[in-house]
A and B are shown apart, each in its own frame.
Chain A
Amino acid sequence: EAQVTQNPRYLITVTGKKLTVTCSQNMNHEYMSWYRQDPGLGLRQIYYSMNVEVTDKGDVPEGYKVSRKEKRNFPLILESPSPNQTSLYFCASSSLSAGKESPLHFGNGTRLTVT
């Protein structure tokens, strides 16, 4: 089954404790992206990647890091989480080579709470 898999689904942590949220897709998509979703603000892009070893900042990159060492994986790293990073996070992927706009496929989200 074609899917984007995020782990964990739920995460509670304390300020300053480094964490990683994993994301993996099995559709051979070139493009991957991280979004955060907050009430009243909608989905905002954090980082994106056009292909292996190619990453760039989205609208709200402060406090986050990413890497793209393999095509299928795009982990999100919070080196020193703070309470304002409490949010619902989504990983998404799409094909850049499929002609007309290939839609984003989303994972089921990671709910992060930083205390």
Chain B
Amino acid sequence: EDQVTQSPEALRLQEGESSSLNCSYTVSGLRGLFWYRQDPGKGPEFLFTLYSAGEEKEKERLKATLTKKESFLHITAPKPEDSATYLCAVISNFGNEKLTFGTGTRLTIIP
């Protein structure tokens, strides 16, 4: 069974203080790893897809990286508007197009 574990559960940073969120996964043949951002009261919003170890994707202050066992979401010089819950999900080569999600990291950026 596919599993995704995210850490930490919650993270508070000062504005401008860079950090990383972790997503560890176990999957029978990784087809893709996704990062989503979820704001309170809203549905998850797609950020990145990573397909193979060594791959990196960047968007503004966010950079996602992937190894064979985990992915990191690096946040550089965050701003208060980066406050959200960040979700990681995997899709395997076997199965029904289902995404298996982690429980997320709740990020708060303090001005």
Contact = CB atoms under 8 A, between A and B. Distances in A.
Interface in A37-79: 40-45, 48, 50, 56, 58-59
B102 A42 contact: yes
B46 A109 contact: no
A109 B102 CA distance: 18
Interface residues of A, number: 28
B101 A103 contact: no
Contacts of B91: 101
Contact of A100 (B51, B99, B104): B51
SS class, residues of chain A in contact with chain B: strand
Chain B residues touching A, range: 20 to 34
B19 to A, nearest CB: 21
Contact of A96 (B32, B97, B102): B97
Interface in B7-66: 31-32, 34, 41-46, 49, 51
B70 to A, nearest CB: 17
A103 B49 CA distance: 8
Nearest to A101: B32
Nearest to A92: B43
B104 A104 contact: no
B76 interface: no
Given A42-B102, A43-B87, A101-B51, A108 B97 contact: no
Interface of B: 4, 31-32, 34, 41-46, 49, 51, 87, 89, 91, 96-99, 101-104
5 contacts: A42-B4, A42-B104, A43-B89, A108-B41, A108-B42
Given A4-B43, A31-B97, A101-B91, 16 more contacts: A42-B87, A42-B101, A42-B102, A43-B44, A43-B89, A45-B99, A58-B96, A58-B98, A90-B44, A92-B43, A96-B97, A100-B49, A101-B49, A101-B51, A104-B46, A108-B43
